[in-house]
């Protein structure tokens, strides 16, 4: 979700001083938005991953609740010596947990959490992560118009300068809708779901009702991870690392943790065709098509259910072969420490990192960043406000 919990209140007012500065600034080149829109319009060179029945490593049904807790930003004590796990540095301490396949006939065996070997083998059968970066923002040229904002220079512009061999695309609302439409055309999601998301023309040319942009962007990032692969980043992710420092030819999936609260959803990286993303898309579709709407928008709680809650539950199922009952018995700081230890056993196929500070020492940011630039500068330029307030206000004002 853009900027965690922000969304525009009105169209951006262009700062012409900023625009003139942009013309003189040394702005790196990214994949042009028009070029990307043409790619989305044309057939892909490669067909999308085929649809099929998922492996039997999907164990039981997961409770999709708990979104409010998973969005918590409370500070959790974290060890200062936590590093990326599964890549170049796999040193970590392990506590006693529960083996993912150890629950038999109601008995619980105490052992270390382990990866699901079936899923691990699936990941290892995939191609390496392609050098594509996907980012969403209402103005696909925002980095050109606001380059001297410290936040912009230390996020997308830094990313491009450090990773010149990666293709970077900023998707605006129209491009996000095209990703969704394309998925419907090839059968990844149904035509009915496409209509719910991007709307259909009303009778006699009336205004069509679309799902909230947060809902559309959530499904679009999953579709891009599944059909194209690469890295998805929220625009408010600061970047000071070369991706080659943590993504190798062996890497197939990135799963950093937000403190010891959940697996971070504002950064994703994956090989193309990862079945975990297919399973998230399919389960989100079921929730979406059963949810009540007001003027096309579903409730805030359902948006969280299809976002962080669903993403984390499917990681548990696919990566660790763990059902909701086992997870809730273990869900504490020790669980995530053990999960990171288990990921280290993948020998680089999956990488993780404990992220305990937004502007210091994340998967894409090293610990040498001097000052955390305010992201609000960018949001203010585009009149962006908390999206949940927008959704709640509509539900309170609209009759059933």
Average pLDDT of 297-321?
A: 94
**Confidence band, pLDDT 50/70/90 cuts, at residue 206:** low
Buried b / exposed e across 125-154, counting CB within 10 Å, b at 16+?
ebeebebbbbbbbbbbebbbbbbebebbbb
Average pLDDT of 168-192?
A: 97
On whether residue 2 sits in a domain, the answer given is no
Per-residue confidence (pLDDT) for residue 357, from 0 to 100: 82
**Confidence band, pLDDT 50/70/90 cuts, at residue 361:** confident
Average pLDDT of 127-152?
A: 96
pTM over the 0.85 mark: no
Ramachandran region, residue 165 (left: φ > 0; alpha: ψ -120 to 50; beta: rest)? alpha
Q: Residues 379, 135, 301, 11: what is their CA dihedral angle, to the nearest 10 degrees?
A: 40
What gap in Å lies between CA 183 and CA 19, rounded to an integer? 36
DSSP 291-332: S--BTTBPPHHHHHIIIIIHHHHHHHHHHH---HHHHHHHTT
On whether residue 1 sits in a domain, the answer given is no
Contact between 281 and 226 (Cβ < 8 Å) = yes
**Confidence band, pLDDT 50/70/90 cuts, at residue 105:** very low
In the predicted structure, residue 49 carries a pLDDT above the cut 90? no
On whether residue 391 sits in a domain, the answer given is no
On whether residue 387 sits in a domain, the answer given is no
What gap in Å lies between CA 241 and CA 159, rounded to an integer? 8
Per-residue model confidence as pLDDT tens digits over 279-296: 999 999 999 999 999 999
Q: Which distant-in-sequence residues (6+ apart) come within 8 Å of 363 by Cβ? A: 84, 241, 246, 254, 256, 267, 351, 353, 355
Average pLDDT of 34-55?
A: 52
| CA distance readout (Å), 395 to 131, 197, 294, 297 | 41, 18, 6, 8
| CA distance readout (Å), 396 to 118, 186, 288 | 46, 37, 20
| CA distance readout (Å), 180 to 74, 222, 267, 318, 387 | 34, 10, 20, 24, 21
Per-residue confidence (pLDDT) for residue 195, from 0 to 100: 96
**Confidence band, pLDDT 50/70/90 cuts, at residue 333:** low
Strand partners, 297: 294
Contact between 252 and 270 (Cβ < 8 Å) = yes
In the predicted structure, residue 8 carries a pLDDT above the cut 60? no
Would the CA dihedral through 315, 121, 49, 232 be positive or negative?
positive
Per-residue confidence (pLDDT) for residue 46, from 0 to 100: 58
On whether residue 83 sits in a domain, the answer given is yes
On whether residue 54 sits in a domain, the answer given is yes
Q: What's the number of domains the chain is made of? A: 1
Average pLDDT of 181-200?
A: 96
Per-residue confidence (pLDDT) for residue 301, from 0 to 100: 94
CB count in 10 Å sphere of residue 389: 13
**To which H or E segment does residue 384 belong?**
strand 384-385
Per-residue model confidence as pLDDT tens digits over 378-398: 999 999 989 988 999 889 887
What gap in Å lies between CA 303 and CA 70, rounded to an integer? 13
On whether residue 5 sits in a domain, the answer given is no
Range with lowest mean pLDDT among 20-29, 127-136, 172-181, 335-344: 20-29
In degrees and rounded to multiples of 5, residue 99 shows phi and psi of: -65, 135
In 102-198, at which residue ranges do the beta strands (DSSP E only) sit? 110-111, 132-136, 167-171
What is the extent of the structural domain holding 245? 13-370
What gap in Å lies between CA 229 and CA 258, rounded to an integer? 22
Would the CA dihedral through 73, 168, 32, 281 be positive or negative?
negative
Q: Which residue has the higher pLDDT, 313 or 28?
A: 313
On whether residue 101 sits in a domain, the answer given is yes
Per-residue confidence (pLDDT) for residue 84, from 0 to 100: 44
């Amino acid at each position: 979700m853009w900027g965690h919990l922000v969304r525009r209140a009105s169209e951006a007012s262009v700062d012409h001083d900023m625009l003139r500065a942009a013309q003189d600034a040394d702005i790196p080149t990214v994949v042009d938005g028009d070029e990307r829109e043409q790619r989305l319009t044309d057939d892909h060179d490669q067909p999308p991953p085929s649809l099929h029945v998922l492996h039997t490593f999907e164990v039981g049904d997961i409770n999709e609740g708990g979104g409010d807790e998973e969005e918590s930003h409370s500070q959790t004590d974290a060890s200062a010596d936590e590093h990326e796990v599964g890549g170049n540095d796999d040193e970590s301490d392990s506590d006693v947990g529960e083996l993912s396949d150890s629950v038999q006939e109601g008995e619980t065996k105490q052992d270390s959490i382990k990866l699901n070997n079936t899923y691990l083998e699936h990941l290892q059968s995939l191609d390496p992560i392609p050098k594509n970066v996907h980012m969403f923002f209402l103005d696909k040229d925002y980095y050109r118009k606001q380059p001297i904002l410290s936040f912009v220079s230390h996020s997308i512009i830094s990313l491009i300068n450090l990773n010149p061999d990666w293709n970077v695309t900023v998707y605006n609302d129209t491009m996000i809708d095209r990703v969704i439409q394309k998925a419907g055309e090839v059968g990844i999601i149904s035509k009915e779901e496409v209509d719910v998301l991007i709307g259909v023309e009303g009778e006699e040319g009336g205004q069509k009702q679309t799902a909230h942009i947060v809902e559309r962007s959530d499904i679009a990032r999953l579709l891009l991870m599944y059909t194209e692969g690469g890295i998805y980043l929220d625009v408010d992710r600061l970047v000071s690392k070369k991706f080659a420092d943590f993504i190798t030819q062996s890497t197939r999936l990135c799963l950093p943790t937000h403190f010891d609260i959940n697996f971070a959803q504002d950064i994703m990286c994956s090989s193309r065709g990862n079945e975990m993303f297919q399973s998230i898309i399919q389960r989100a579709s079921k929730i979406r098509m059963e949810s009540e709407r007001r003027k096309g928008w579903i409730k805030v709680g359902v948006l969280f259910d299809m976002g962080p809650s669903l993403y984390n539950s499917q990681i548990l199922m696919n990566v660790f072969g763990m059902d909701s009952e086992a997870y809730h018995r273990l869900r504490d700081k020790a669980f995530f420490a053990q999960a990171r230890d288990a990921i280290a056993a993948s020998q680089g196929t999956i990488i993780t990192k404990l992220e305990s500070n937004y502007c210091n020492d994340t998967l894409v940011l090293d610990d040498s960043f001097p000052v955390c630039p305010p992201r609000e500068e960018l949001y203010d330029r585009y009149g962006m406000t908390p999206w949940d307030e927008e959704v709640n206000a509509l539900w309170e004002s609209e009759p059933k």
